Chains A and B, each alone.
Chain A
Amino acid sequence: MKKKLFEFNKTFFKETMRYYMVTAIVFGVLIILASISIGIQLYGNMAASMNFNIPVQNIEWIICAFMAYLGANLARKLLNKGTAELYGSMPVSRSSMWMAQLLAGICYSLMMIAIFVITMFIIRIGAAAEIGVNVGNYGYSAGEFILDICRIILEALIVFSISGISFSITGRSMTAVVTALLIVTLPGCIYGTLNMQSVANIDSLSILIPAGAGVRNALEWIVQIVLALALPILFRQAFLAIRTERAGFAYRDGTMQTIFGVIFAFDIFVSCFNTNTAIIILIGNNGTNIVGVIITAAILTFIGYFAFMWIAGRKFKAAANSLMYLPVSAALACAVLLAGSAVSKAYDRIDFSAGNMAYYTIPDYIGKRLGSDYMNNSFYFGGYNFGNDAYGKGVTNEDEIKFSDPKQLSQLAKVIERYRADNNSMFNYVINLLGSIGIDKKPSLYLTLKDGRTYGIDLSWEYLGEFSYMEAARANEEYCNAMYDLKRFEGGHFVLEDSRMNMFYDTFIDELSSLSLDQRAEIFDLSSIYMDLEMSFMDDEAIIDTESVIYENGPTLTPFARVIFIANRDNSCIRGIILNEHTPKTLKACLELSGPVNEKNGSIQYLVDTLKNGNSDGINTEFMIWDTETGRSYEYSFEYDQHGYDYVINDEYYRKMLGELLMEFFNKDINTMTADEISDGCIAMEALGWDYLYDDDYVDEGMTQEELDAVYDEIIAQGLEYARGGAEEMHFYAGLRDWMMGITSGAKSMEGSRYVLIINKCRVWSADEDGYSSWIGSIELDTASNFNHYPIVFGLSDEEFGRFYDAFYSNTEYPIYYTDTRSRN
């Protein structure tokens, strides 16, 4: 009797919904917990709370787990002896059961997504209410949200089907799980094997689909849709074919068991070639010994296959007999390996010389790459922790802009050449014994050759010094115009605690429109000067003279203020922008608002109290001083650690802690040493590091006492010098602290002041003789990660500024702690 594809039994569907209600509630609770977990991070942190899409991807795994359970459970109903007769005899067709399960899964999945959205919304409202942000400021994009949901549902259908197919094919749970894993990993295993031998770090999908990002994205969607449509139907067929009487058997029949055994063996065999892990463990080489690799692979494959067939079939003799099929696995593996070799050879023959390159394009908003790849690695910058989703969302066609400058292409060719020389395998960082399923790594850029083929190139940061495509992008007028197209900012608004900033929208747009592209890049936090600074911390070879960058009149490390700007009405274009002297009016507006805000939230008093804390031993602060007349700005970041110096000169402490070390190093009894000697000795050791004690350059076995004394004298001399410098520095910074305390206590408004002090961060801590114990006050006003804080702003008198300038700016002894930004003559 021919069966309809779609059979729907309404009452059985209701029964199925009821059946899974408890399960759905359990998963719903997980969703709520996930929402709360995400939401907890949002409170007090406006930037994070302005996550500009509803992060449904965070619950993707929960939805998929639920659907996997449903898929498995449907098959189990007919294969479990406790339910098989019940469901098998019911006047409900299997097709109806399948449809009911599928629809119930989708319904509950959508409900869970709804729960997540509602919970996140409630939490965000709470977070926003705390910081006074209007709901209307949220940067949700309906289009992206719907696409995310569609994607999750498609994935859920795929997972549902794979799980169901696996459990339909087998009659035992353990075997079903293994079967599911095999189905899931097989494509990745084959794919990885085909590509692993290529040495160029070219995006792997490009091998199959040498097309640009747009085509690839479309193809990814098509593949996902096709799988989501086809796999459930395959599941249906497998479900219809279940034979209840096979419950308890590993597979429906011996043929199927053999097939999966062969697949399992294939997976193991090629995985040994895909990863070095197993090889290193077993034979301790780097996998270049092909004979060793083959032997290892063969041994592991034999063991794995035999164990699988024995466990699945529960018969030793049958498992032994099944070994005759093992050569099939080996043959398949060899075929794929040989094919991979051919593919890779063909691939590596592709001409990536500069002369054969037509152009490259950058697929993602450049800032996103910046934020995710580099900023978070920079301790000194604190990171623009918007998160990939929030930062720099929405661009206009910049991925269609072609970069064809011969110099850039030449640099890119050199990078690719260097990849090849370094023998970077694409899957160097993918260690997955059963094949790679994570092949959706997005490339940094797309390179199109003259014959039209396009390849994704992933540039890791260690090659950044040789080819900074972002720098090139920023220098490209067309690209920058596309990114900073003012038309996209029509109807936009600021997202800040005080919505009065929106009154200055026009002011900001006017100021922005008058800026050069370089200046706009700074405003949008993409200045190359930052890039250079980052690189200096990332790659020692990239910037040779770090001192000249950091120590002498370098660029501003900390902007005056950061704000989030939603550029258009549909919230699809969002930028994190900085306000500096290029946008003086907008900056002034922002700073003027800061006073009332900080008064209201108690930040100013908190700062004053923190600085005044008599128990403090250390202070770390960052501030800017803005000369509103000349536009000049001074950035200051310093750390003063009194405890550290007390630590050095506290001989009681050293007597207690370091007696043994002193004895060992100087061969002198601490009790015979004077306090000065001990102190000096400690200073010396502290200055030179404990390792000095064991430094063979200075101390040799068999040295005479006189020779040791000479070394000791030398160390002391250096240590004293250090201590002297330290004492002076202590005095220096104590003065700075006093200066700050005076200003903050006075709390002069910036109105009417030429000089404006803008404090972004201030931390104070205390310590005891054993070390630093705790922060006793910390105020982070850096809006990089927390947009609900305005910097604390004070007006400076001319005298106060003068003290600062005389004491610090012109004091070249301590250049590491300040920089001068953009001198304007």
Chain B
Amino acid sequence: MIEINELTKRFGDLAAVDDLSCTIKPGGVFGLVGVNGSGKSTLLRLISGVYHPDSGSIRLYGEEVYDNAEAKKHLVYIPDNIQLVTPNASMNRMAEFYAACYSTFSKDKFRKYTKLFGLNPNAKLRSFSKGMCKQAQTVLGLACNTDIIMFDETYDGLDPLAKKAAAKAIYSEVCDRSACVIMTSHSLRELEDTCDSLALMFKGKLIMQSDIANLKTRMFKVQLALEGDMDRDSFESIPGVELLSFNKSGKVMTLILRGDRGVADSYIRSLDPMLYELLPLSLEEVFSFEMDALGYKFDEIR
């Protein structure tokens, strides 16, 4: 649905987005992760039509986005810092503004989510805290009922309860009408439970893009204990399986493997382990090894 092709955006000598290409499919939650200055916000601004690309293209349902009202009506962009139509605007006033711009804006949904977050729609937004502003922005964005909803630093400033409420609301949109949500964060942990797919940016480039399920399926972590003494070499030759990490503490070994899970499972069971269990693998661990495979030091990117 969103096709980005060789997109570049420079600010002086700095390439904020550097020859980036990717496709974002409809439905689901797409996470964009990267350190500060990696180009996430710039990319969102380019997709939403705020910035004009220096080269390359961004197409939404086949149409260029920049200054294209028809294309932009399919998406709503919730920036990191709240933007007000007037300095004294309240949520209601902002809702009116959004309603004027988006024909799909739902006042019912606006009221529903406002209540969900416990916000006062008549209060001036400049009197809100940072977290409350974020909540307000989320409400307004969701109420627009667009196909694509883009959040910059989605959960930044939100308390745990508010995060939960936001996540719930986002899921609801995705499930009910197959909306596509794009969210950015500098924290993998934050996106891990929310996103269906992730992309990692670094210095304006897209380092990696993958479904999370796919990632976690391909990579797995096991803990086992054997009567005999086995070392790393015993596990490096499993056909179709790559040993990424080996950790031994006494008889207990912790392995991170990538490849065919069935083959690995068969092999391990053939060793008749005293202890054998599958452990959850964090996204950070997944990314770490994936980056390593690509030649990036994950610690540099984090």
Contact = CB atoms under 8 A, between A and B. Distances in A.
B83 A19 contact: no
Interface stretch (A9-17, A312-320, A525-533): A9-17
A84 interface: yes
A614 interface: no
B83 A240 contact: no
Contact of B101 (A85, A90, A240, A243): A90
Contacts of A9: 69
Interface stretch (B42-50, B250-258, B273-281): B42-50
B64 interface: yes
A86 interface: yes
Nearest to A11: B100
Interface in B133-176: none
Interface in B80-121: 81, 83-86, 96-97, 99-103
Contacts of A428: none
B259 interface: no
B51 A92 contact: no
Contact of B100 (A1, A15, A85, A243): A15
Interface string B46-62: 00111110000000000
A705 interface: no
Nearest to A14: B100
B100 A240 contact: no
Interface in A1-43: 1, 3, 9, 11-12, 14-15, 18-19
Given A91-B102, A244-B50, A85 B79 contact: yes
B220 interface: no
A245 B11 contact: yes
Given A1-B68, A83-B84, A89-B77, A244 B51 contact: yes
Contacts of B48: 85, 88-89
B45 A85 contact: yes
B69 A89 contact: no
A652 B102 CA distance: 90
Q: Among A11, A91, A244, A245, which residue has the most Cβ atoms of chain B within 10 A? A: A91
Contacts of B73: 91
A89 B67 contact: no
A129 B222 CA distance: 100
Q: Among B72, B81, B96, which residue has the most Cβ atoms of chain A within 10 A? A: B72
B76 interface: yes
B85 A245 contact: no
Given A1-B64, A15-B100, A15-B101, A91 B85 contact: no
A488 interface: no
Q: Among A3, A11, A88, A240, which residue has the most Cβ atoms of chain B within 10 A? A: A88
Contacts of B85: 19, 83, 86
A457 B83 CA distance: 59
Contacts of B76: 89
B86 A91 contact: no
A12 B73 CA distance: 13
B255 to A, nearest CB: 47
A76 interface: no
Contact of A85 (B50, B52, B99, B102): B50
B68 A93 contact: yes
Interface in A76-118: 82-86, 88-94, 96
B151 to A, nearest CB: 12
Nearest to B100: A15
A94 B72 contact: no
Nearest to A240: B67
Interface size class of A (residues with CB under 8 A): 20 to 34
A25 to B, nearest CB: 14
A83 B70 CA distance: 21
Contact of B84 (A1, A82, A89, A92): A82
A12 B64 CA distance: 22
B83 A83 contact: yes
Contacts of B68: 1, 93
Interface string B1-26: 00000000101000000000000000
Contacts of A15: 96-97, 100-101
Contacts of B86: 19
Nearest to B48: A89
Nearest to A96: B69
A332 B50 CA distance: 39
Interface in A240-262: 240, 243-245
A92 B52 contact: no
A19 B101 CA distance: 13
A251 to B, nearest CB: 15
Contacts of B103: 11
Contacts of A1: 63-64, 68
A20 to B, nearest CB: 10
Nearest to B47: A89
Contacts of A245: 9, 11, 51-52
Interface in A706-737: none
Contacts of B11: 245
A82 B101 contact: no
A581 to B, nearest CB: 70
A12 B101 contact: yes
Contact of A88 (B50, B69, B75, B97): B50
A74 to B, nearest CB: 14
A19 B84 CA distance: 12
Q: Among A1, A19, A245, which residue has the most Cβ atoms of chain B within 10 A? A: A245
Given A14-B100, A19-B86, A93 B77 contact: no
A60 B100 CA distance: 32
Contacts of A84: 50, 83
A742 to B, nearest CB: 73
Contacts of A96: 69
A89 B102 contact: no
A94 B67 contact: yes
A89 B97 contact: no
Q: Among A9, A18, A85, which residue has the most Cβ atoms of chain B within 10 A? A: A85
A180 B71 CA distance: 35
Contacts of B51: 88, 243-245
B180 to A, nearest CB: 16
A104 B268 CA distance: 75
Nearest to A18: B96
Nearest to B71: A91
Nearest to A15: B100
B166 to A, nearest CB: 20
A91 B50 contact: no
A333 to B, nearest CB: 33
23 contacts: A1-B63, A3-B67, A9-B69, A11-B99, A11-B101, A12-B100, A12-B101, A15-B96, A19-B86, A82-B84, A83-B83, A84-B50, A85-B83, A88-B45, A88-B49, A89-B48, A89-B72, A89-B77, A91-B69, A92-B101, A96-B69, A245-B51, A245-B52
Interface of A: 1, 3, 9, 11-12, 14-15, 18-19, 82-86, 88-94, 96, 240, 243-245
Query: Closest 6 interchain pairs by CB?
Result: A88-B50, A86-B83, A91-B73, A15-B100, A91-B72, A89-B48
Given A15-B96, A93-B67, 15 more contacts: A82-B81, A83-B83, A85-B45, A85-B79, A88-B45, A89-B50, A89-B72, A91-B71, A91-B72, A91-B101, A92-B101, A243-B51, A245-B11, A245-B51, A245-B52
